[in-house]
Copies of this chain bind each other. A is one copy, B any other.
């Protein structure tokens, strides 16, 4: 058997299947729990929270829409729609980038920051309950290594594919 070849390319073995199902289940549960908590206590979706949180950490609390789309992991049209909603609530403002009018800068307003800070403790608490209270410190480190390794593999694969398809 050549080194590095997958054991069976067409189906998962018992251990892989178990791992995958557990992962799927956990991802779904955590996502549902966070969405429910935010919706109930703050009237926000997890996606909206993520957008506002990304803005809050950026310099001037501002990001270009396309950068925000990457950081919040959503499509640009989706970002645009959600930004419209958040703008109506007064939590976000948009304006053309003075240095290049093709870009739109989205900024978190003072009211938006206040909203985010009010929502944060409940959100962090739920996240702790779901994830960090349960795991040992060692498991948290393992989880980080595992996820970062997958990230690295995928981003280098994407790099390769982009290059090959152009």
- Give Cα A106 to B26, complex, Å: 25
- B127 lies within 8 A of A11 (CB): no
Supposing A73-B28, A144-B22 touch, asked if A6 and B151 sit within 8 A by C-beta, the answer is no
What mask results when residues 117 to 134 of chain A are scored 1 for a CB within 8 Å of chain B, else 0?
Answer: 000110011011111111
- Give Cα A15 to B144, complex, Å: 8
- Cβ contact of A132, chosen from B6, B132, B134, cutoff 8 A: B6
Supposing A25-B151, A121-B10 touch, asked if A135 and B146 sit within 8 A by C-beta, the answer is yes
Supposing A12-B127, A120-B11 touch, asked if A139 and B132 sit within 8 A by C-beta, the answer is no
- B22 lies within 8 A of A148 (CB): yes
- How many residues belonging to A are interface residues under a CB distance threshold of 8 Å? 51
The A interface, classified by DSSP as helix, strand, loop or mixed, is helix
- Give Cα A148 to B142, complex, Å: 14
**Chain B residues in 8 Å Cβ range of A130:** 150, 154
**7 nearest CB pairs, A to B:** A22-B147, A134-B153, A19-B144, A26-B147, A28-B73, A27-B27, A142-B142
Q: Name A's B-contacting residues (CB within 8 A).
A: 6, 9-12, 15-16, 18-20, 22-31, 33, 73, 120-121, 124-125, 127-135, 139-151, 153-154, 157
